[in-house]
Structure 1
Amino acid sequence: MGSASRAVSCLCCPCKCLACGLLSCLCSILVSLAVVLGVVALILYFIFKPHMIAATVDSASLSQFALSASSTLSYDLNVTMTVRNPNTRVGLYYDDVQALALFSDQRFGYAPLDAFYQGTQASTQLSPGFRGTQLLQGDVTAAEFRQEQSAGNFAVDVDLNAKLRVKVWAFKVRGPKAKVTCKLSVPAPGAANASPFQPTVCKVWF
């Protein structure tokens, strides 16, 4: 009875049956395409085995870091860091590279850096410098500054932001945005009780 009803329906409205057939065919094609793309992506992953970039701050020094009564920070911070591409089959382009310096979660320094390319398993040394003045907000920040100055070391964050492009053989594709966060303990200028700077491994986010 059901088959007879469908046959009658198709005889009465052949366009409806054609549309249903095309829709079913399109769905099958889309599902097959998704499966193929998934398999290809899985194969490429196991072939290239992409790894997250690595970054380390090798040195950091403050020749000036003073907070005025009006909460204006005068600073001169120099940093040397190494960024490494651990991949054996993937090259990386770094575009729109920016270095930021923060104290108590407030940005006080900004340094644009040149774009660069890293071949497989290559390392690049970067040397962002931050100098100038910046108004800091809040009494808590001023209290934290005085406390850390007395302790001999300042907790300073240095971030590195970049847009990545991935090179696989002769092909270049847009990659994710990378953010490198480095939490540093930098000796206060002229502090006799300061602990020497220790190389610091950074966290990388995508």
Structure 2
Amino acid sequence: MGSASRAVSCLCCPCKCLACGLFSCLCSILISLIVTVGVLALILYLIFRPHMIAATVDSAALTQFSLSPNSLLAYNLNVTMTARNPNKRVGLYYDNVESLALFEGQRFGYAPLDSFYQSTEATTKLTPGFSGQQLIQGDVAAADLRSQQTGGKFNIDVNLNAKLRVKVWAFKVPGPKAKVSCPLSLPAPGSNSAQFQPTDCKVWF
């Protein structure tokens, strides 16, 4: 009875049966593509086993960090960083590289850096420098700066942003945007605080 009803339906509306057949065929093709892409992605992962890049601030010198009565911050900060590509089969291109210095979430320094390439298991030294003057917004941030100056240490974040491209064999494909965050504890200029210690950074994609 059911077969006869479907036959009558197809005789009455052949376009409907054709549309159903095309939809079913497209669904099958789409599922096959998804499965194929998933299998290929798993195979590539097992072959290349990509690892997160690593970054460390090796040294940092804060020679000026003072706030005027009108909340104008005068600063001079030089940083030496090491970025490492731990992957054995994947090279990395770093494009649109920029470094930022922040105090209490407020950016006071900005320094663009040259694009560069890292071969497999390679390290690259980066030396961002920040110098100038910047208005600090808010009484709380200004009070924190003066308090930290009295304590002999400043908590400053140095961030690095870059757009990655991935090189696999001779192929180059777009990668994610990398965000490197380095929370630093820096001796205040002229203080007797302990010297800066190398600091590992956090990497986000």
SS of 1:51's equivalent in the other structure is coil
CA drift at 1:150: 1.1
Q: Which residues in structure 2 correspond to 1:42-57 (within 5 Å)? A: 42-57=42-57
Equivalent in the alignment of 1:143: 143
Instruction: Give me the TM-score of the superposition, normalised by structure 2.
Output: 0.99
Question: 1:18 Cα deviation (Å)?
Answer: 1.1
1:198 is aligned to 197
After the TM superposition, which residues 49-128 of structure 1 pair with which residues of structure 2 at under 5 Å, given as runs?
A: 49-128=49-128
Identify the residue that residue 179 of structure 1 maps to in structure 2: 179
Give the secondary structure class of the aligned counterpart of 2:133: strand
For residues 145 and 20 of structure 2, what CA distance do their matches in structure 1 show?
71
The corresponding residue for 2:35 is: 35
Structure 1: which amino acid aligns with 2:172? K
Amino acid at match of 1:4: A
Tell me which residue corresponds to 1:25.
25
Structure-2 separation of matches of 1:150 and 1:20: 76
Q: Deviations over 1:103-151 (max 9, x none)?
A: 1111000000000000000000000000000000111111111111111
CA RMSD of aligned residues (A): 0.6
User: Which runs of 5 or more structure 1 residues have no equivalent in the other structure?
Assistant: none
Unaligned runs of 5+ in 2: none
Q: Which string of whole-angstrom CA distances, capped at 9 and with x for unpartnered residues, describes residues 30-53 of structure 1?
A: 001100100000000010000000
What amino acid is aligned across from residue 147 of structure 1 in structure 2?
A: S
SS at match of 1:93: strand
- What TM-score, normalized to structure 1? 0.98
CA distance in 2, matches of 1:106, 1:11: 72
> Secondary structure at 1:20's aligned position in 2?
helix
CA contact (8 A) 1:67 1:74 kept: yes
Q: In the alignment, is residue 170 of structure 1 matched against residue 165 of structure 2?
A: no
4+ residue segments displaced more than 6 Å: none
1:160 maps onto 2:160 in alignment: yes
Q: Residues 157-199 of structure 1, C-alpha deviation per residue, up to 9 Å, x if partnerless? A: 000000000000111110000000000011111112x121000
Q: Give yes or no for the alignment of 1:3 onto 2:3.
A: yes
CA distance in 1, matches of 2:170, 2:94: 17
